[in-house]
Amino acid sequence: MSVRHRPSIDELILHPHVAVSYVENEGAGVGIVQQARRPEPCAGTVDHRIPNEEYVYRWTQKNFAAQGIETHKRCHLRSLVYALSNLHDLYKGNKNCKMPRKVMIYSKSSDVVKIIARHRRPGSECLRRPLDQDDRRLLEKVLRGIRRLLKMGPEISIVQTKSADPAATKAVTLSRRRGRKACAGRQKHNQKLQASSSAATGIRNEEEEMTPVSGSINIPSCRVQ
């Protein structure tokens, strides 16, 4: 009976799964599920020598401008910025230990995956082409995060999510939960504004009713008996 080889930690592949839940002008949620998995012939087997990690983020509409996520695509780019930052912190915190030599980041947005792949090509001049300023800014942050992580040693790939992967499903669930909370926060904020506006309108109406109308007022004379 053959003995199954247990791969060393540096032979493992780190799999961060990134999912985004986005509602325009309402709120956004991001879920990231990060696992270490074994290569062939045991591909897909989770290896717990590197603990699984989960990260969640949420933003209400008032935070969209500060985060630069006014569109669905930009929100996906922003989520990758956070995923790369988390990976950098992980490798930096374990720089004296063996770490996976390969990182494969999964994103559900095929458009974002294609954009990043196109801009990572050697000698790419895509950033010089006419691009939306906010798109370019976030794309540069993603590329900067990739270069910074490459200095730590791992090979990095960004690919489209496999829908049947349990970790991808978990990431989607986390993103939707955070997205619902963000939208609920936005709705509560709007309700408070509406209540304040209604209260102010009621006060103004009362003041208008109490204000005397200027002009002559006929007061009936009283005869003293």
pLDDT of residue 42: 78
10: left (phi over 0), alpha (psi -120 to 50) or beta: alpha
The pLDDT-based confidence of 123 (bands split at 50, 70, 90) is low
Looking at residues 67-76, what average pLDDT do you find? 94
Task: Check whether 14 has a pLDDT greater than 60.
Answer: yes
Determine the angle formed by the axes of helices 72-93 and 133-150, rounding to 10 degrees: 20
For residue 219, the one-letter residue type is I
For 166, the token pair is: 């349990």
> What is the predicted pLDDT for the residue at 28?
96
Q: Exposed, middle or buried: residue 121 (CB in 10 Å: 0-12, 13-18, 19+)? A: exposed
The two structure tokens encoding residue 27: 């709120």
> What's the pLDDT band for 213 if we cut at 50, 70, 90?
very low
Three-state DSSP string of the chain: CCCCCCCCHHHCEEEEEEEEEEECCCEEEEEEEEEEECCCCCCCCECCCCCCEEEEEEEEHHHHHHHCCCCHHHHHHHHHHHHHHHHHHHHHHCCCCCCCCEEEEEECCHHHHHHHHHHCCCCCCHHHCCCCHHHHHHHHHHHHHHHHHHCCCCEEEEEECCCCCHHHHHHHHHHHHHHHHHHHHHHHHHHHHHHHHHHHHHHHHHHHHHCCCCCCCCCCCCCCC
CATH number among 3.30.420.10, 3.90.320.10, 1.20.190.20, 3.40.50.620, domain 9-177: 3.30.420.10
pLDDT of res. 184: 84
* pLDDT > 90 fraction of the chain, expressed in percent and rounded: 64
Q: Mean pLDDT score of the chain, rounded to an integer? A: 83
- Overall average pLDDT of the 167-186 stretch: 90
Residue of higher predicted confidence among 222 and 42:
42
pTM: 0.79
Instruction: Give the pLDDT mean for 58-78.
Output: 93
- Residue of 142 and 219 predicted with greater confidence: 142
Model pLDDT for residues 38-50, shown as the tens digit of each residue: 998 777 799 999 9
Domain boundaries, the chain: 9-177
